[in-house]
Amino acid sequence: HNFVMGLLFGVLAIMLIYNASLYVFTRDNSYFAYSLYLATAALYELAITGYGPLYLWGDHLWMTWRGYELSACLAFLSATVFFRVFLELRTCKIRHLVWMNNGFVTFWAVATVLTVVQNSPYVSLSIALGGLIGGIAAVYSSIYRIFQGSVSARLCIARQAPGTRAHASGIPFADRSGS
């Protein structure tokens, strides 16, 4: 188990360093947004696996209690910002996609603040529901942008699910979906 988790965190660290260096050399904001997402996703994984309290924040009681909610909100917020940058929603002419994304950025920012200042079971419930609805909205936005001819949207949606060959075989990644 520790070996597999070490591999997970190693891959996340390599991806983070690689994308951060791409940002430094190209100044493409999508690499910065993705690097931020990877950092917060690693924080989330540290919180849910127990490695965060074990190796990083130790006996810090607040982080032990609130680390999961805080890291989930930060990961969803950074994913929403990455989605905005990668799909170029700021320059998108379809206003409802921009409004939807702005709404999710606001939701995750408020949820992050509430996680820090308030201890409530409603915050945890809103994180779960917000993640579900946000994922559905992300797929919807990608499909909508595909019909507009967005190449980045095609890349985004192609990585969401396996192809028909993989589904039929029952073996993940048994086809070349997304390539």
Taking the C-alpha atoms of residue 1 and residue 53, their distance in angstroms, rounded to an integer, is 17
Give me the phi and psi of 118, to 5 degrees please: -135, 135
Q: What is the pTM of this model?
A: 0.79
Q: Residue 168 has what pLDDT?
A: 53
What is residue 170's predicted lDDT score, i.e. its pLDDT? 52
Task: Output the tens digit of pLDDT for each of the chain's 179 residues.
Answer: 788 888 989 999 999 999 999 999 999 998 999 999 999 999 999 888 888 888 888 888 888 888 889 999 999 999 999 988 888 887 777 788 889 999 999 999 999 999 888 877 888 888 889 999 998 998 888 888 888 777 676 666 544 444 445 445 555 444 444 33
The closest of 124, 117, 9, 18 to 62, measured between CA atoms, is: 117
Long-range contacts of the stretch 28-32 (C-beta < 8 A, 24+): 29/85, 30/82, 30/85, 30/86
